């Protein structure tokens, strides 16, 4: 079932005479605005990879990827019932979470007809007890009734490999390894490894030797200049 969040985002990207839920061949497009097709993807980017590759053959496409920065959990007595309590979820998303998905989308992005637009959003999530229970006996025993948009903290449109470079800190050793990147960003090394994987596939980074067991990388444009 479509959530209020999805409807709100469609309306945000459909001003004026834009059309919603437009059939196009074997697909249905969320928004058609002028000559651009707009797809809003809450789930994994891998789920729409083939669809977007097909659409890009003839069309300009904008993929809108919301990342939840802040979520307020609204617990209800029952579906559509009275609100029992509200609390902030301890889980917080950030723009770097994009790379968790982008590693499965490297065969699509970048493309000269594609814009990948990342939204950092705040939402409310309505929940009610699962399995017909009346009480919240278990924290994970719930059903989601709806999600609604509260606000947008940041919009980051990505069109080229150079746009991905903006996620990197300004001062990195040259060459550098993923340990340097993780330390500079204050993130787990696994996140840095995903970032480097995506940047390599986009042509932003190039491998340049090893330091012990760690692979070293440099910016492709600097390597070309040298």
Indicate the pairing of strand 214-219 with strand 142-158. Answer: unpaired
Considering the four listed CATH numbers 3.40.50.1820, 1.10.645.10, 1.10.10.10, 1.10.10.60, the one that applies to the domain covering 161-226 is 1.10.10.10
pLDDT given for residue 107 in this prediction: 94
pLDDT score recorded for residue 202: 94
Query: Where would I find the H helices in 21-107?
Result: 49-55, 98-102
At residue 225, the pLDDT reads: 45
- Burial annotation 10-19 (CB, 10 A radius, 16+ → b, else e): beebbeeebe
Q: Which pLDDT score, from 0 to 100, does residue 212 have? A: 87
Average pLDDT over residues 211-225: 80
What residue spans define the domains of the chain?
1-159, 161-226
Looking at residue 140, what is its pLDDT? 65
Tokens matching residue 37: 């097709």
Mean pLDDT throughout 188-208? 95
| 4, 27, 32, 127, 150 from 7: Cα distances, Å | 5, 18, 14, 19, 13
Q: How far is CA 137 from CA 60, 79, 89, 90, 129, in A?
A: 49, 16, 18, 19, 9
Give residue 115's pLDDT: 98
Please report which confidence band the pLDDT of residue 30 belongs to, taking 50, 70 and 90 as the band edges. Answer: very high
Give tens-digit pLDDT for 155-172. 999 999 999 999 999 889
Contact 162, 204 (CB under 8 A): yes
Q: Write the pLDDT tens digit of every residue in 52-95.
A: 999 999 999 999 999 999 999 999 999 999 999 999 999 999 99
What value does the mean pLDDT of the chain take?
92
Task: State mean pLDDT over 17-41.
Answer: 96
- Contact status, residue 13 vs residue 31, Cβ threshold 8 Å: yes
Give 90's DSSP letter.
S
**Residue 217 bridge partners (DSSP):** 176, 207
**3-state secondary structure labels for all residues of 199-221:** HHHCCCEEEEEEECCEEEEEEHH
pLDDT (tens digit, 9 = 90+) per residue, 6-16?
999 999 999 88
Q: Which residue has the higher pLDDT, 128 or 138?
A: 128
Q: CA-to-CA distance for 184 and 101, rounded, in angstroms?
A: 22
Q: State how far the Cα of 14 lies from the Cα of 33, in Å rounded to an integer.
A: 7
> Given a cut of 50, is residue 226 above it in pLDDT?
no
Quick: pLDDT tens for 14-23.
Answer: 988 899 999 9
Question: Contact at 8 Å (CB) between 68 and 121?
Answer: yes
DSSP code at position 176 = B
């Amino acid at each position: 079932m479509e959530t209020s969040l999805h409807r709100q985002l469609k309306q945000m990207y459909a001003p004026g005479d834009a059309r919603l839920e437009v059939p196009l061949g074997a697909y249905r497009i969320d928004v058609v605005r002028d000559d651009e097709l707009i797809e809003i993807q809450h789930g994994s980017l891998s789920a729409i990879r083939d669809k977007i590759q097909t659409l890009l053959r003839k069309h300009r496409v904008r993929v809108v990827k919301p990342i939840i920065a802040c979520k307020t959990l609204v617990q209800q007595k029952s579906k559509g019932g009275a609100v029992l309590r509200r609390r902030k979820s301890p889980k917080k998303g950030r723009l770097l979470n994009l790379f968790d998905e982008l590693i499965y989308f490297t065969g699509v992005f970048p493309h000269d007809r594609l814009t990948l637009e990342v939204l950092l959003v705040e939402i409310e999530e309505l929940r009610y007890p699962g399995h017909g229970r009346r009480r919240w006996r278990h924290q994970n025993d719930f059903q989601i009734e709806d999600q609604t948009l509260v606000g947008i903290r940041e919009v980051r449109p990505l069109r080229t490999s150079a746009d991905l470079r903006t996620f990197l800190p300004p001062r990195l050793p040259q060459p550098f390894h993923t340990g340097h990147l993780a330390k500079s960003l204050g993130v787990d090394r696994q996140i840095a490894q995903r970032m480097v994987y995506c940047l390599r596939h986009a042509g932003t980074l190039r491998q340049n030797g090893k330091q012990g067991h760690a692979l070293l990388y440099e910016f492709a444009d600097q390597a070309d200049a040298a």
